[in-house]
Amino acid sequence: MARDVTEAVKPPRAVFVPFRMGHHFGTPFHVELQRRIIMAAFGLIDDAIESPTIMNLDVTWARARREGKEIEAAAAETDS
Amino acid sequence: MASSETGGAQLRPGLWETVNERYPGSMITKSEIVPLARLDKPLSEARVAFVSSSGVQPKGTLPFDVTHPVGDYTFRRVPSGSSPDDLEIHQLKYPTDGALRDLNVIFPITRLQELVAEGTLGGLTDNFYTFIGYNMDPGLFESTVAEDIAAAVEEEAADIVLAAPA
């Protein structure tokens, strides 16, 4: 959420997501995105070659929100 | 510092400066580099702890003091086998609209349990650890919450700590 804060703290490895506060793992019920963020972080265990490493996840908040809404709409359709 | 360039930009640029101007001395900056620690086993055998500043806590436990002007320097243990229905958030400092519908957007406990069940992760520590991010005394935070959680995670024999802000 706050790349500049992450850069100041200098964690050994970090995944940056350009998301709203309170939504660091994505949008509600967007299981695939939540998993992707977690696995991107675990991927840095081997992929990071120097400390600190900050990886930008290739996703925007607009896309995450749009996909989240589509997922919820599809779920609502299934339930009705 | 290694950095990849793809992906979206920070939604609120200059956040570190803004907060540090408003609350002088509250923002941490470090000059020391923590060396990378390597995992000596596959992820499928690794024991994972999750540490979060979301303030998620088990229902019935003492709520974090989210109105104290200097912050709350305590932490909570969240059993890693908990369901989101067993947990609650008392928070004023970040929007909880998403988390109140799906806790995993800020505290991905279900996702981590699934990753263990499918064999991607070896296991989870008995507890996850949470605190609140509003702490105005970084030195006090480091000597209390940070050191206490670090000791607890080590005692639980975590191979990996996934840490996330809120």
Show the domain range for A10. 3-79
Task: Please indicate, yes or no, if residue B30 is contained in any of the structural domains.
Answer: no
B151 touches chain A (CB under 8 A): no
B9 and A18 Cβ atoms separated by less than 8 Å: yes
State how many domains chain A has.
1
- Distance CA(A15)–CA(A20), nearest Å, equals 15
Angstroms from B60 CA to nearest CA on chain A: 22
User: What pLDDT digit, counting tens, does each position of B66-102 carry?
Assistant: 888 888 999 999 999 999 999 999 877 788 999 999 9
Task: Please indicate, yes or no, if residue B71 is contained in any of the structural domains.
Answer: yes
Question: Which amino acid is located at B148 in the chain?
Answer: D
Binary contact (B2, A52; C-beta < 8 A): yes
A64 and A29 Cβ atoms separated by less than 8 Å: no
pLDDT at residue B158, rounded to an integer: 98
- Distance CA(A7)–CA(B8), nearest Å, equals 16
- Distance CA(A70)–CA(B75), nearest Å, equals 36
Q: Which residues of B touch A40 (CB under 8 A)?
A: none
User: What pLDDT digit, counting tens, does each position of A58-79 carry?
Assistant: 999 999 999 999 999 999 888 7
Show the domain range for B99. 51-164
Binary contact (A18, B11; C-beta < 8 A): yes
User: What pLDDT digit, counting tens, does each position of B20-29 carry?
Assistant: 777 776 666 6
pLDDT at residue B28, rounded to an integer: 67
Mean pLDDT of chain B: 90
**Which region holds residue A69: left if phi is over 0, alpha if psi is between -120 and 50, else beta?**
alpha
Label each residue of chain B as H, E or C: CEECCCCCCCCCCCHHHHHHHHCCCCCCCCCCCCCCCCCCCCHHHCEEEEEECECEEECCCCCCCCCCCCECCCCEEEECCCCHHHEEECCCCCCCHHHHHCHHHCCCHHHHHHHHHCCCCCEECCEEEECECCECCHHHHHHHHHHHHHHHHHHCCCCEEEEECC
- Using CA coordinates, name the residue in chain A closest to B4: A55
Partner residue facing A28 (CB), from B6, B102, B111: B102
Binary contact (B4, A56; C-beta < 8 A): yes
| Separation in Å, CA B73 to CA A43, B51, B58, B78 | 32, 15, 17, 17
B109 and A38 Cβ atoms separated by less than 8 Å: no
User: What pLDDT digit, counting tens, does each position of A13-63 carry?
Assistant: 999 999 999 999 999 999 999 999 999 999 999 999 999 999 999 999 999
Return the number of other C-beta atoms located less than 10 Å from residue B30's C-beta.
11
pLDDT over 90 at B54, yes or no: yes
Task: Please indicate, yes or no, if residue B19 is contained in any of the structural domains.
Answer: no
Tell me: ipTM over 0.90.
yes
Task: Please indicate, yes or no, if residue B17 is contained in any of the structural domains.
Answer: no
Q: Which residues of A20-32 are buried (b: 16+ CB within 10 A; e: fewer)?
A: bbbbbbbbbbbee
Binary contact (B3, A53; C-beta < 8 A): yes
Task: Please indicate, yes or no, if residue B115 is contained in any of the structural domains.
Answer: yes
pLDDT at residue A63, rounded to an integer: 96
Mean pLDDT, range B60-67, rounded to an integer: 92
B87 and B78 Cβ atoms separated by less than 8 Å: yes
Taking each helix axis from N to C end, the angle separating A31-47 and B109-117, rounded to the nearest 10 degrees, works out to: 70
User: What pLDDT digit, counting tens, does each position of B102-146 carry?
Assistant: 999 999 999 999 999 999 999 999 999 999 988 888 889 999 999
Binary contact (B34, A12; C-beta < 8 A): yes
